[in-house]
Amino acid sequence: MASNFFGELFRITTFGESHGSAIGVVIDGCPAGLSITKEEIDEALALRQPGRNKFVSPRSEKDGVEILSGLYEGKTTGAPIALLIRNQNADSSPYTAIQNLYRPGHANFTYLEKYGLFDPRGGGRASARETVARVAAGAVAKKLIGHFGIHCVAFVAEIGGIGIDADLTDLATLREKTYSSPIFCPDERQAEEMMRKIEVVKAEGDSLGGILACVAHLPAGLGDPVYQKLEAKLAAAMLSLPATKGFEIGEGFAAARLRGSEHNDSFIANQGKTSLATNRAGGTLGGISTGAPLYFRVAFKPTSSIQKPQSTVTLQGEPATLQHPPSARHDPCVAIRAVPIVEAMVALVLADVLLFNRCATLHQVSGCELPGPKGPGFQRPDKKELTFI
Amino acid sequence: MASNFFGELFRITTFGESHGSAIGVVIDGCPAGLSITKEEIDEALALRQPGRNKFVSPRSEKDGVEILSGLYEGKTTGAPIALLIRNQNADSSPYTAIQNLYRPGHANFTYLEKYGLFDPRGGGRASARETVARVAAGAVAKKLIGHFGIHCVAFVAEIGGIGIDADLTDLATLREKTYSSPIFCPDERQAEEMMRKIEVVKAEGDSLGGILACVAHLPAGLGDPVYQKLEAKLAAAMLSLPATKGFEIGEGFAAARLRGSEHNDSFIANQGKTSLATNRAGGTLGGISTGAPLYFRVAFKPTSSIQKPQSTVTLQGEPATLQHPPSARHDPCVAIRAVPIVEAMVALVLADVLLFNRCATLHQVSGCELPGPKGPGFQRPDKKELTFI
Amino acid sequence: MASNFFGELFRITTFGESHGSAIGVVIDGCPAGLSITKEEIDEALALRQPGRNKFVSPRSEKDGVEILSGLYEGKTTGAPIALLIRNQNADSSPYTAIQNLYRPGHANFTYLEKYGLFDPRGGGRASARETVARVAAGAVAKKLIGHFGIHCVAFVAEIGGIGIDADLTDLATLREKTYSSPIFCPDERQAEEMMRKIEVVKAEGDSLGGILACVAHLPAGLGDPVYQKLEAKLAAAMLSLPATKGFEIGEGFAAARLRGSEHNDSFIANQGKTSLATNRAGGTLGGISTGAPLYFRVAFKPTSSIQKPQSTVTLQGEPATLQHPPSARHDPCVAIRAVPIVEAMVALVLADVLLFNRCATLHQVSGCELPGPKGPGFQRPDKKELTFI
Amino acid sequence: MASNFFGELFRITTFGESHGSAIGVVIDGCPAGLSITKEEIDEALALRQPGRNKFVSPRSEKDGVEILSGLYEGKTTGAPIALLIRNQNADSSPYTAIQNLYRPGHANFTYLEKYGLFDPRGGGRASARETVARVAAGAVAKKLIGHFGIHCVAFVAEIGGIGIDADLTDLATLREKTYSSPIFCPDERQAEEMMRKIEVVKAEGDSLGGILACVAHLPAGLGDPVYQKLEAKLAAAMLSLPATKGFEIGEGFAAARLRGSEHNDSFIANQGKTSLATNRAGGTLGGISTGAPLYFRVAFKPTSSIQKPQSTVTLQGEPATLQHPPSARHDPCVAIRAVPIVEAMVALVLADVLLFNRCATLHQVSGCELPGPKGPGFQRPDKKELTFI
């Protein structure tokens, strides 16, 4: 079944295995006229790269993108944009020793159940390595939504039970604080406590889970009713990421413990503009954005690959112990590296709903100046304008 | 934008407004040869109907389905199955008084922002009334997956902070306990406490949120990698429901506070069969079912419509107070009525992934007579078992 | 498999069998703000109704539509528009005698091969009765594209080898001539000859094939590259109609016998506008509209149901003769009644590509005045304009 | 808009421009367990390569595929299969002289109208070079359908008005004759006449159109009702190819000139098997395969690029003459090189409908061990046969 694409109008299709020759993505549906450079994509890739410090896996993945198609003189042409990232460091020999074992928390069991065969080098398609394609495509999506003043920031909100409060009003500052932190956590003091805990747990050969938060500023009216609610698309996007176990928007699970009078956001009028007095809903009502900041959280399980020995069975059904060699490199907490990936997925969702929104009303479809076909020649009179971008 | 369909191979398209003439659904893609009766669908509809007792809204919706197409002599023919439920009790006069107000927690604000117009009778498409179509279609989906031994039960797991522990091993018993409870809660003692709390809060003109849990028994191998993970589809299905604020699978958000050595489920071998020793993952690994029970939870916000006065503004931007008349009928806790709806959505998701699974391998595509993948290495040892579904 | 929907952004899903209780369609994705009335849809249905004269089947189908959802005060709301047409005259008793026979030219053989069962009352889903849903939806699509100055007319171009030349420049006149003809043929003299031939063939218990032509006026730039070419979508739309055997655009098959120097349309400049000097291409280049009239033709086979006895076999494999009773009512030439159906399908295709076109360029996505989200409140400043339509 | 994908369950997404760095395709949905080699794909690519002789363009494109993902030890794993073909010979300098001109018969006019910008090197996405990706993917699709005994052959049926009769019963012989002909025409004598005509026309600086035919052997029951008819999918596939102007199945446009008694195919019983006595329908009834050979034809316009000078205008609207330099290399008849491309597209369509067919009935979904539809009335008498595919 075709299961490697995401989005409808702004659609990505990804390919490539953890230890194959390359990871790639085809972006189909990006509007023509958007400026985008290799450098912008490489910058995004640099953020998700491991090896930055001891809090993420020391694998060195120096990823650089090759733009195979879809740009001409630095602008998108409406043609599909294919981005290729070669796997530089795909040494699958560490997997030889364990390739005959079902790995707890990993997908080789279910892939074998489903497909009857499995590429044992690294995690194949199930590896987090696949997310490099999401980040590359997300860089293009961010450029597109940025053109419309839509921005998003993800950050570490909790690791190993240590949580933070973050100021969500100023996205630029939030982003700066987040990306200047070794663990993408904008609260410097709490971040230090998290790092201490990570070091302890890592020394024990174990791993930690965490919670990411994401905030986006966007206009009212994005998202669609019923089955295409904005929060439904976001939830699917987040649960499509490796290691995710939960999604909540606004007050989320805490809302289940509030009363209606506590949870409802009142409307207020201010200089002729109606908006919400509070934002417990997290930015949507009925699946459509309210104009208040979009706010949601994602739960990540602790890294499945740990140094501690684990009891398991072989593919042949014999009891066995999974013990990674001391040289194996694993993230002590996968949530950290997921920050730029969550951001990329949100950008992909928002790019898609932005394009969909152009079809919501006659007014939207018409635009304001485009007169539609008129007169004998059916010539667009303002053709020049089209080319200005 | 087309946003009123759900599923790909087993696809539903729903229509109808809360106070329009009818609600309906077209099921496109149900395999031919499935027996289904009007009575089976009506039974499912009866479960979601309000007015059963004081814990749900006393609106009397005696829904009966009209099967417009797709059946011949009691069996599906492969043609689309159209189901129509007339709105019997669509008195929209209570809404006249409030139709000029933005309603806190409701979608009339965002629909107006998006579409520039809004059907003010009831909640229109945003009303929970729409879910009657999901339940009708879900009855057909349940029949289909039941044919393959797949079953699911949803139930109230927490209301107003009062939670339960439930035995998930015997679905028949769990279902019986759930549906014999006035509030769909299988734990009789905790249910009584919940009901006491509901009565208190209702008397105060307020409402409560709640958490539903759902468990499904299904074979290993269902669901698809990367963007079509089973949990991603379930999350989207749940967040597409009115009033939902969160989704978690397995340990969910609690997993973020565990260590890898605590969270990983070990594999064990038993009489030549490999399975999981525990089920913290909640039934999937890498987006594909493990064969262990699928287990997830959904957070519902407290009912937005409450008797307490709420401050808001008019559509014209003037400050105003929303005060429902004493005669207005609202659910004190929407989570209760959502139980059969959640079950319906799970059945719809599982019907879809079941059909998709027939295309996963050559062996699956071939049926039993063609050999499928063979030879050394990474062969599923128990290939025969695959054919039982 | 879900196979009863058409279109992506302007999507229809149809249901109902020839001799079931009703035929219906759900339109999902129609922009909000479009005025549409029951009368407009009924008018469209009246055009396809048989029984107008002896050149079409004398079955009396007085179809009237029930609009179940999606309109409020005469305007679309963005919600799905469900249209229901009850089957008034669904006497399936004539089929009892022949329901044990494979019917030459009909689909009961292939449906049985595929599904293992078949609804023998009339043609079930394979009946041309299904097209009533297309015509109802097409009426809404025409209204939408008409708002943008896009119009189309289909007409009978050839019956039984008798062809016509038609003036395609003035669509209003072409439409008037077409619909004032008993056989939807704008050339009065040739139409008379066709009618004479039809009467002769009908008297012999036989039937005739025919060719329809269709012309549409639309702006340049509609349609999409590669796999979503405008002509590819039109070809699929036409070959999805019962009894169609071919599609050609512009010079079509005749183009295969021309040289490049004869077939290429030169470009000319006229008062600063570039257009085509001729229109052999039929309105597209590279799958995208040129602004010249869209022109294509569709081949219809002769009606499969004829009075003449035909040799066949029973479902059990015994040789048999299919002989319709003298009372059976069949169209002597199905192409005639297909005229409003072809028009409906073209309108559905053009509505879809029109919506898609809003996402082609940044300029299109932006519209000209909509500033996008700005400033702290993300309020659309021109909200009022949205409601004017 | 996403317009660069084809197929639903067996889905391809293609990318790359004529004179960019590479052309590629991602196959998403190929079942796991299929053996495929680089050599098999390269062989398919070799067939479409120009430069074989004087009847096709002398551009030398030595295409070799790089398999980037989706295979492990020679077998598909269920992961997306990415295939990359580098552009070896992408000298775009010949286009510099003409890049300021609208080119008759080409898409630069419509792309500029739609997108406001155009990659002027070669035809960009509109170039026939894009079809290399279709052929690569088609090689995988052919392997898949071949596994189920489904085969197809395309061939030149007419060039410049010179047509052939071909024996369609033995596909192996037909294929051999076709691919041993310099112009892919299985009738050696007529092929020689065509070649003489091509040489004359080429010497005059002009080009010729042509008609391809295609025949496929496949079981009954493939394809779907109403909007997903097999012929509708084939028509869309064919009209998505560059330079195509028409599609017809079976008798096609000639059917419009036959009577019902002439056109209907009778059913006959032979040793308990029911089949068609003739095959004027061309292999489908009601959009579903009959088991008789699928037969259709596709019209190609004459090559748009010719040596003869053509009058046109500049992008600025000034009258101009398009005169290719003597060194420019064009196919004298594009239909010839389209033969392996048509074959690839048919294979892609049939792979998709084959996978869809696994969801048609309970029996199909179940595999062989579940009983499927049973009981009296309208039962397919030969249910067992269904399982051979």
- What is the DSSP secondary-structure string of C348-367? HHHHHHHHHHTTSBHHHHH-
Residues of C in contact with B9 (CB under 8 A): 1-2
Residue A117: pLDDT band by 50, 70, 90 thresholds? confident
Residue A9 to residue A31: CA distance in whole angstroms: 10
Q: Is C328 on the interface with B (CB under 8 A)?
A: no
Closest chain A C-alpha to C262 CA, distance in angstroms: 23
Whole-number average pLDDT of chain B: 88
Residue in B306, B309, B329, B308 with CA at minimum distance from that of residue B321: B309
Residue A65 to residue A69: CA distance in whole angstroms: 12
Helix, strand, coil percent content, chain C, rounded in steps of 5: 30, 20, 45
Residue D350 pLDDT exceeds 80: yes
Model pLDDT, residue C89: 65
Residue D101 pLDDT exceeds 80: yes
Residue C156 to residue C184: CA distance in whole angstroms: 6
| Percent of chain A topping pLDDT 90 | 73
Model pLDDT, residue B8: 95
Helix (H) or strand (E) holding B294: strand B294-300
Model pLDDT, residue D116: 86
Nearest CA in chain B to A253: B299
The residue-averaged pLDDT of D187-215 equals 97
The residue-averaged pLDDT of D199-217 equals 97
CB proximity list for D355: less than 8 A, separation 6 or greater: B358, B359, B365, D9, D10, D29, D31
Closest chain B C-alpha to D308 CA, distance in angstroms: 47
Q: What's the DSSP call for residue D89?
A: -
Q: Is B316 on the interface with C (CB under 8 A)?
A: no
CB contact under 8 A, A221 and C370: no
Mutation site, B4, B118, B132, B263, interface A, largest A CB count within 10 A: B263
Query: Which residue shows structure tokens 């329809």?
Result: C212
Residue C165 to residue C186: CA distance in whole angstroms: 9
Model pLDDT, residue C361: 80
Ramachandran category for residue D233: left, alpha or beta (phi over 0 → left; psi -120 to 50 → alpha)? alpha
Whole-number average pLDDT of chain A: 88
Residue B58 pLDDT exceeds 80: no
Q: Is A5 on the interface with D (CB under 8 A)?
A: yes
Closest residue to B360, CB basis, from D31, D369, D370: D31
Q: Is D79 on the interface with B (CB under 8 A)?
A: yes
The residue-averaged pLDDT of A211-230 equals 96
**pLDDT tens string B327-336:** 777 899 999 9
Tokens of D381: 């008498």
Residue D387 pLDDT exceeds 90: no
Q: Which amino acid is at D271?
A: Q
C49-58 contacts, C-beta under 8 A, 24 or more apart: C50/C331, C50/C337, C52/C182, C53/C182, C54/C199, C54/C202, C55/C182, C55/C183, C55/C195, C55/C198, C55/C332, C55/C333, C55/C336, C56/C331, C56/C336, C56/C337, C57/C329, C57/C330, C57/C331, C57/C337, C58/C329
Judge residue B43's burial from the number of C-beta atoms within 10 Å of its C-beta, 0-12 exposed, 13-18 middle, 19 or more buried.
exposed
**pLDDT tens string D246-277:** 999 999 999 999 999 999 999 999 887 899 99
Residue C374 pLDDT exceeds 70: no
Residue A293 to residue A295: CA distance in whole angstroms: 6
Q: How many residue pairs from chains C and D have C-beta atoms closer than 8 A?
A: 395
The residue-averaged pLDDT of B205-229 equals 96
Model pLDDT, residue B90: 59
**pLDDT tens string B97-120:** 788 899 999 999 999 999 988 887
Chains in touch with A (≥3 Cβ pairs < 8 A): B, C, D
Model pLDDT, residue D58: 57
The residue-averaged pLDDT of A301-327 equals 93
Residue B318 pLDDT exceeds 70: yes
Mapped onto helix, strand or coil, the DSSP state of residue A364 is: helix
Residue C370 pLDDT exceeds 60: no
Residue D239 to residue C239: CA distance in whole angstroms: 12
Residue C173 to residue C14: CA distance in whole angstroms: 32
Q: Which amino acid is at A151?
A: H
Residue C213 to residue C296: CA distance in whole angstroms: 6
Residues of B in contact with C87 (CB under 8 A): none
Whole-number average pLDDT of chain D: 88
Residues of A in contact with D34 (CB under 8 A): none
**pLDDT tens string A254-292:** 999 999 999 999 999 988 789 999 999 999 999 999 999
Closest residue to B302, CB basis, from A259, A300, A315: A259
CB contact under 8 A, D80 and A13: yes
CB proximity list for B202: less than 8 A, separation 6 or greater: B54, B332
Residue C60: pLDDT band by 50, 70, 90 thresholds? low
The residue-averaged pLDDT of C29-50 equals 91
Q: Is C362 on the interface with A (CB under 8 A)?
A: yes
Residue D92 pLDDT exceeds 80: no
Residue in C28, C386, A225 with CA at minimum distance from that of residue B107: A225
Mutation site, C75, C379, C384, C385, interface A, largest A CB count within 10 A: C379
Residue D307 pLDDT exceeds 90: yes
Nearest CA in chain C to D382: C113
CB contact under 8 A, C13 and B5: yes
Whole-number average pLDDT of chain C: 88
Residue B59 to residue B42: CA distance in whole angstroms: 18
Mutation site, A76, A365, A386, interface C, largest C CB count within 10 A: A365
Bigger pLDDT: B303 vs B379? B303
Model pLDDT, residue C59: 54
Model pLDDT, residue D327: 78
Residue D94 to residue D248: CA distance in whole angstroms: 37
Q: What's the DSSP call for residue C180?
A: T
Q: Is D365 on the interface with C (CB under 8 A)?
A: no
Ramachandran category for residue B33: left, alpha or beta (phi over 0 → left; psi -120 to 50 → alpha)? left
Q: How many residue pairs from chains B and D have C-beta atoms closer than 8 A?
A: 96
Residue C50 pLDDT exceeds 90: no
Residue A191 pLDDT exceeds 50: yes
Going from the C-alpha of C65 to that of each of C38, C43, C81, the distances in angstroms are: 7, 10, 12
Residue B169: pLDDT band by 50, 70, 90 thresholds? confident
Residue B151: pLDDT band by 50, 70, 90 thresholds? very high
Residue C11 pLDDT exceeds 50: yes
Q: Is A82 on the interface with C (CB under 8 A)?
A: no
Model pLDDT, residue B389: 22
Go through the domains of chain B in sequence order and give each one's CATH number. 5-357 (3.60.150.10), 358-389 (no CATH)
**Do B315 and B100 meet the contact criterion of CB atoms below 8 Å apart?**
yes
Tokens of B128: 């929970």
Q: Is A163 on the interface with C (CB under 8 A)?
A: no
Closest residue to D16, CB basis, from A2, A29, A68: A68
Pairing of strands D22-28, D11-15: antiparallel
Closest chain A C-alpha to C101 CA, distance in angstroms: 38
Residues of C in contact with B72 (CB under 8 A): 117-119, 124
At residue A351, what are phi and psi to the nearest 5 degrees?
A: -60, -40
Per DSSP, the residues of B197-259 read HHHHHHHTT--B-EEEEEEEE--TT-S-SGGG-HHHHHHHHHHTSTTEEEEEETTGGGGGGSB
CB contact under 8 A, D225 and C4: yes
Nearest CA in chain D to B78: D360
| Percent of chain A topping pLDDT 70 | 89
| Range scoring the smallest mean pLDDT among A185-189, C95-99, D60-64 | D60-64
Helix, strand, coil percent content, chain D, rounded in steps of 5: 30, 20, 45
**Do B253 and A142 meet the contact criterion of CB atoms below 8 Å apart?**
no
Residue in D216, D77, D40 with CA at minimum distance from that of residue B362: D77
Nearest CA in chain A to B280: A105
Residue in A228, B325, A203 with CA at minimum distance from that of residue C8: A228
Q: Is B197 on the interface with A (CB under 8 A)?
A: no
Going from the C-alpha of D166 to that of each of A289, A311, C179, D153, D186, the distances in angstroms are: 62, 66, 43, 12, 7
The residue-averaged pLDDT of A195-212 equals 97
**Do C296 and D137 meet the contact criterion of CB atoms below 8 Å apart?**
no
The residue-averaged pLDDT of B38-54 equals 83
Model pLDDT, residue D60: 53
Ramachandran category for residue A168: left, alpha or beta (phi over 0 → left; psi -120 to 50 → alpha)? alpha
Is the reported ipTM for this assembly greater than 0.90? yes
Q: Is C36 on the interface with B (CB under 8 A)?
A: no
Model pLDDT, residue C57: 64
CB proximity list for A3: less than 8 A, separation 6 or greater: B224, B225, B226, B227, B228, D28, D29
Model pLDDT, residue D53: 67
Residue C380 pLDDT exceeds 60: no
Q: What's the DSSP call for residue D171?
A: H
**How many degrees, rounded to 5, is the angle at CA B39 between CA B34 and CA B43?**
110
Model pLDDT, residue C201: 97
Chains in touch with C (≥3 Cβ pairs < 8 A): A, B, D
Residue D348 pLDDT exceeds 70: yes
Going from the C-alpha of C218 to that of each of A360, C205, C367, the distances in angstroms are: 21, 42, 20
Residue D9 to residue D13: CA distance in whole angstroms: 12
Helix (H) or strand (E) holding A201: helix A188-203
Residue A119 to residue A115: CA distance in whole angstroms: 11
Nearest CA in chain B to D8: B8
**pLDDT tens string A355-368:** 999 888 877 776 53
CB contact under 8 A, D357 and C114: yes
Q: What's the DSSP call for residue C14?
A: E
Tokens of B166: 């439930």
The residue-averaged pLDDT of C340-348 equals 98
**Do D76 and D30 meet the contact criterion of CB atoms below 8 Å apart?**
yes
Q: Is C358 on the interface with A (CB under 8 A)?
A: yes
Residue B301: pLDDT band by 50, 70, 90 thresholds? very high
User: Residue A76 forms beta bridges with which residues?
Assistant: A71
Model pLDDT, residue B385: 27
| Range scoring the smallest mean pLDDT among A184-193, A278-287, C356-365 | C356-365
Residue C234: pLDDT band by 50, 70, 90 thresholds? very high
CB proximity list for A328: less than 8 A, separation 6 or greater: A94, A305, A307
CB contact under 8 A, C149 and A377: no
Q: Is D22 on the interface with A (CB under 8 A)?
A: yes
At residue C234, what are phi and psi to the nearest 5 degrees?
A: -65, -40
Alpha helices in D103-182 (DSSP H): 108-115, 131-146, 171-179
Judge residue C253's burial from the number of C-beta atoms within 10 Å of its C-beta, 0-12 exposed, 13-18 middle, 19 or more buried.
buried
Residue D377 pLDDT exceeds 50: no
Q: Which amino acid is at D55?
A: F
Q: Is A264 on the interface with B (CB under 8 A)?
A: yes
CB contact under 8 A, D383 and C290: no
The residue-averaged pLDDT of C99-119 equals 90
Dihedral of alpha carbons B157, B159, B160, B163, sign: negative
Closest residue to D360, CB basis, from C115, C246, C290: C115
Tokens of C324: 């319709």
Residue B311 pLDDT exceeds 60: yes
**pLDDT tens string C236-265:** 999 999 999 999 999 999 999 999 999 999
Closest chain B C-alpha to A252 CA, distance in angstroms: 5
Residue C372 pLDDT exceeds 80: no
**Do B274 and B220 meet the contact criterion of CB atoms below 8 Å apart?**
no
